[in-house]
Homo-oligomer: A and B are copies of this chain.
Amino acid sequence: VPVSTPRPQGRPRSVRADDAILAATRGLLAERGWADLTMGDVATRANVAKTTLYRRWPSKQELAMAAVADMLGELELPAEGDLRSGIESVVRQFTDLLTRPEMQTALMGLVADSTRDPALRRRVRETIVDPQKRLVVRGRERALERGEIKVPAQIDVDLVFDVIAGTVVQHMLISDGPAAEEWIGQFVRFVSTGLGLNT
């Protein structure tokens, strides 16, 4: 029988505050960008004291991760369809996510801050990057079951993930290209070919 965690003493934390803070964070990320996002403004917009904010998230980085983690968690591989259509779906979902200003700001801000901060880089990877590799892992499993690929080694999870994530980010946030259907088709064709699916 699992021992229930003993109820902590004192006034419990407001559950409403969490939602208000994360919503305020998303709003300000979208409106102001990374450098001009201030903890004080988040607190003000959430109608919350700064202490309340810092008690929950000790830094802008942790706050931003919490604010976008849910959205990234909603990415999913469709239950039906072959590998190529799975890739296409994931690419489309990811480009949709990267259309949202708060996601652009949070991701790039976190990456920038983490370049000279190994601890943060690790937190970012563990919290919002690596979990999404499940999509590639699951896709490989299905492709094997369906016989689309012959050996697991035909798909290196890390490489495929980096190609997809990296290219989409580069295309949308740096080259500033549209997430048009045309581009998605072109890119998915490239990846499929690269994986040897078109022979």
Binding site for B on A (CB under 8 A): 30-35, 101, 104-105, 108-109, 111-117, 121-122, 124-125, 129, 156, 158-159, 161-163, 165-171, 173-177, 183, 186-187, 190-191, 193-196
Contacts and interface: CB of A to CB of B under 8 A. Distances in A.
Contact of A176 (B125, B159, B171, B177): B125
Copies in the complex: 4
The interface residues of chain A, by DSSP majority, are classed as helix
Given A30-B116, A114-B173, A162-B175, 18 more contacts: A32-B116, A34-B112, A34-B113, A34-B115, A108-B112, A111-B174, A112-B112, A121-B174, A122-B176, A125-B174, A158-B171, A162-B167, A162-B170, A162-B174, A162-B177, A163-B190, A166-B169, A193-B195
Contact of A109 (B112, B166, B174, B190): B112
30 contacts: A30-B116, A33-B113, A33-B116, A33-B117, A34-B112, A35-B35, A105-B112, A105-B116, A111-B111, A111-B174, A114-B173, A115-B173, A125-B176, A158-B175, A158-B177, A159-B187, A161-B175, A162-B167, A162-B170, A162-B175, A163-B163, A163-B167, A163-B170, A166-B169, A166-B170, A169-B169, A191-B194, A193-B193, A193-B194, A193-B195
